[in-house]
Every structure is written in structure tokens, then in C-alpha cells.
Amino acid sequence: MSQYPARKSTVPNAGLLMLSAITVGLVACSPKDSSVKIGHVAPLTGSIAHLGKDNEAGAKLAIADLNKAGIKIGGSPVTFTLLSEDDGADPKQGTAAAQKLVDAKVAGVIGHLNSGTTIPASKLYNDAGIAQISPSATNPKYTLQGYKTAFRVVANDAQLGGTLGRYAVQELKGKSIAVIDDRTAYGQGVADEFVKGVESAGGKIIDRQFTTDKATDFMSILTAIRGKKPDIVFYGGMDAVAGPMLRQMDQLKITAKFMGGDGICTGELPNLAGKALGNNKIFCAEAGGVVGAYEKKLADFRERFQKETGAEIKLYAPYVYDATMVMVEAMKKANSTDPKKYLPELAKIQYDGVTGPIAFDANGDIKGGTLTLFTFRNGKRESLSVIQ
């Protein structure tokens, strides 16, 4: 995933947030030190700080729950402490944050949020032998590097983008489709997979344009696209750019349906797009999704999350929560916080999370990854279907 003006966190200064440190990584326990530091990395400043703080809140809630559980590892009680680093959704800042955690001799990392920061940081963690679980990075390259330290708890772009591409042709009956991406690892990656999905379903891409994750003026590329009369416009990028883009499409009277991946599929998009949001105009997909008994489990978690933090879930907080719990579960099974000892347990974990069952394949990708298709009606996101 990739960027608004930095905004203050909506998470109140409640008890579960009163953690002395703010970074994500795990330090091995010793008889003299029963503190296990669990780290988290996400953009806490910048245009998508609202998503980074949502992730951070999920990690903080997990830490609070772990400490209430009175866990023992290596025969001794342990106290979990959250350390949280801000990577600003910037690859350079992301690797600096990763190096900071490596230097702190952490035993594991939850993060990063964006593919563009997750991928370069993963080399540093791998070289140091530190486990990394991303709750939201979806670019396939992350887990295709051969690192035994890299895991993710959501489906990747190959599934998400491809499914959206086929949906555009088969369900939305798109005949002339334009594509825009922000050139980030996430945006370009999900757009490339969308194009493959469209073409595999017999559809046609009539134009492909590019912007950046910090752009605010899209009139030039939208005017070029308008001349080709698309019935669908797909955007690979984040809600911070998608909202203003939708407003400018409305100004230009472009009536095409608007599609995107999980980066635009957020509760914040209605505020960013305003009246340009429309009804049944926007279609997007979020990596993840539950069916059956897990629907109530996730609904209960959402309710508890809002009660505990004072904020509604923006996007990936439940996956951060599960990623943290999965890492600690592997430590419990190995009876150690040493990554050399618990990494083998993490690779073969079978965990029943709030987001569904979690197990990893040989690459570190979640097995049986799901995605959920959404549209927006009356200013609210509504689920269409869950696909596995």
C-alpha cells in the first residue's frame, strides 16, 4: 500500500495507549529482563497517517490483551511493550526505521503498512534474522524474495488486482477501461495485476496514465482520458489521491465508474471525495474478508475496538491485531522469544484469528487468502461479496 496532510490521531490517550515506547520489534527475554518489545512500523505522519494510526491502534490493543493474559515464556512471566516507528510511507525513511529496530536487537517486526516501505525494509530484517509480518503490504514481490523471515496476513495484489480486472469486464460490463497509477510499489503493482485481469477476461485497456502519491492536480490526465470516453477508470493508489481525483472527474463530467484496490477502499474516502462519491459508482476490493461464524467474530472485534480506542476501524487494524497475536503465539509454541527458535513455529502456525484462520505457505503468504468487494452507497461502504 501509499499518502494527506498529517492529522492528529483520533485514538484517545486511554490506558491501553499508555505505553512508554513507540516502535515495533521484539526483544528476546532473559532472566534479568522479562520485557518483550513488540514493534510496529507505519506512516504516522503524512497524507495517510490516518491509516498508519489505525494500524498502530490495532497493535496497541493486541499488546493490552497480551498483557492481561499473563503469558509465560521460558518459564518466566513476560510483559509486552509496544514500540512504534513512523516511516512516513517513504522507502528511505522506512529503511531508517528498520535499521533502528535492528540496532535495538528486536526479535520481530509487525509492518510496514505500504509495499514501498515493506519491501526494502525486509532485506534488513532478513539479514538480521528478524521475523517480519506485514498486515497490509500486498505487492507480490515482498514474499517472492526467498526470505524465511517475511510473512503477510492478507492476500496479495495478484489476487486482488486480477479479481477486480475480471469483475470490471464480467460484472460491470466494462468495454473501454482507462488505468491510472501513482507509480509506487503498491499502486503500480495493483494496476498491473488489474490490467492482466481485464485482458484475461477479454476486456480492453484504452489508456494508461500516471501520477504520484503526492499529486493534487489531475486535470491534464483526466482530460486526456475523457476524450477516449471510458466507461470505467481504475486507480492504483491510496484514498488521499483518489478523493481529489474523484472530485476533479466530477468537475469534468466524467461519468465512468471508478475502481481501485484496498488503498482507496477506506472509511475515509467519502470525506475525501464529497458529493463525487455518488451511489454504486465506486467499486473496490480489500485484501481480506470473512464469512460464516467469523462474521460475528470480526463484528464483535470492531465493536470492542471502537469502545477501547474511541475510533472506528479505518482499514487494516484487525490484521495488525492478528499479526501481533500470531507472532506471540509462535513464541509461546517455541517457548522462546529468540527468532531463531520461534521462526520455525511461525512458518507452520495454525491460528484462529479475528480475521479468520491464519496459516502461511512456503513463501510466507497467507493460505486461502480472501478479498472483499465493496461499493459505496449513501456515503457508506457496503460489502458486495467475499471471494477466496
| 150 and 299 co-located in one domain | yes
Residues 303 and 228 in one domain: no
* Same domain? 190 vs 84: no
> Are 191 and 275 within one domain?
yes
Q: Are residues 29 and 149 in the same domain?
A: yes
Is the pLDDT at 381 greater than 70, yes or no? yes
The domain total for the chain is 2
The verdict on residue 253 lying in a domain is: yes
What percent of the chain has a predicted confidence (pLDDT) above 70? Answer: 91
The answer to whether residues 110 and 227 belong to one domain is: no
Q: 9 or 117: which carries more pLDDT confidence? A: 117
**Which among 235, 263, 287 is the end of a domain?**
287
Confidence category of residue 368, pLDDT binned at 50, 70, 90: confident
Q: Is the pLDDT of residue 226 over 90?
A: yes
**Average pLDDT of the chain to the nearest whole number:** 90
Q: What CATH number does the domain containing 48 carry?
A: 3.40.50.2300
DSSP string for residues in 344-388: HHHHT--EEETTEEE-B-TTSPBTT--EEEEEEETTEEEEEEEE-
Higher pLDDT, 205 or 155: 205
Domain end residue (candidates: 256, 287, 318): 287
Sheet of 232-236: strand order equals 205-210, 177-181, 232-236, 257-260, 282-287, 371-377, 380-387
Average pLDDT score over residue span 303-328: 95
126-170 pLDDT per residue, tens: 999 999 999 999 999 999 999 999 999 998 988 889 999 999 999
Q: Based on the fold, state whether residues 145 and 169 are members of the same structural domain.
A: no
What pLDDT does 20 receive? 36
Mean pLDDT along residues 350-356: 95
Co-location of 238 and 220 in the same domain: yes
Question: How far is C-alpha 317 from the chain's CA centre?
Answer: 9
> Residue 12 above 60 pLDDT?
no
Answer whether residue 321 is part of any domain. Answer: yes
| Cα 152 from Cα 193, distance rounded (Å) | 19
382 is a domain residue: no
369 part of a folded domain: no
Asked if residue 3 is part of any domain, the answer here is no
Mark whether 19 and 85 lie in a shared domain: yes
The verdict on 282 and 309 lying in the same domain is no
184 and 303 assigned to the same domain: no
Percent of the chain having pLDDT more than 90? 80
Rounded distance between C-alpha atoms, residue 134 and residue 288, angstroms? 13
Supply the DSSP symbol for 32: T
The pLDDT, as a whole number, for residue 33 is: 47
Q: Residue 366: inside a domain, yes or no?
A: no
User: Would you give the DSSP letter of residue 15?
Assistant: G
Q: Residue 50 above 60 pLDDT?
A: yes
What average pLDDT score do residues 206-216 get? 96
In a domain, 376, yes or no: no
Indicate whether 18 pLDDT > 70.
no
Average pLDDT over residues 365-376: 91
Mark whether 267 and 312 lie in a shared domain. no
For residue 167, give the amino acid letter.
Y
Of 287, 318, 340, the one marking the end of a domain is: 287
Q: Is residue 215 part of a domain?
A: yes
CA distance 219 to 250: 11
pLDDT digits (tens, 9 = 90+) for 269-302: 999 999 999 999 999 998 878 878 888 999 999 9
Ranking 103-107, 208-212, 360-364 by mean pLDDT, the lowest is: 103-107
**318: containing domain:** 15-154+295-358
pLDDT of residue 22: 36
The pLDDT of residue 21: 40
